Amino acid sequence: MFFAPWCGHCKRMKGAWDKLADPNASSRLDGTKVARVDCTRHASVCTKYAVRSFPSLLLFDKGGKKIRKHTGGRDLDSLAAFARSGYKQAPEYDPAKVPPPPPRRSMLGQLGLGNRCARVCHAATQPH
């Protein structure tokens, strides 16, 4: 699971993910290893795999060459089913084919005011 500590969806999924990762229950996963990557601490790893939202759930084959992205339920049963064999129905995930994130725009740009307002606002704040 690629996550961010502040992410509400990640926090809600933590219980199911921890149960999935429990070594005493790993027999239900047929040897699949479960891990977490904190994208606030390991940004380069998250960038490498084109993580654009949280949580992102990727399953890597043993060689790390084929990747599958889980887009189903976030409950324990759905996660375990995907890890056991459900991934076989998921299309391969290629981080190189994920488009880059859109450029960030300022609040003024989002309002359609752009540089025009910046000049006016700047002039309005100058002392007389």
Q: Return all residues near 50 (Cβ < 8 A) that are at least 6 apart.
A: 95, 96, 98
Phi, psi of 124 (to 5 degrees): -70, -20
Residues paired with residue 37 on neighbouring β-strands, in sequence order = 2
Where would I find the beta strands (DSSP E) of the chain?
2-3, 37-38, 58-60, 67-69
Concerning whether 7 is annotated as a catalytic residue, the answer is yes
> Is 10 a known active-site residue?
yes
Out of 10, 39, 117, 121, which one is annotated catalytic?
A: 10
**Are 69 and 57 within 8 A, CB to CB?**
yes
SS3 104: coil
For the annotated catalytic residues, the residue numbers are 7, 10
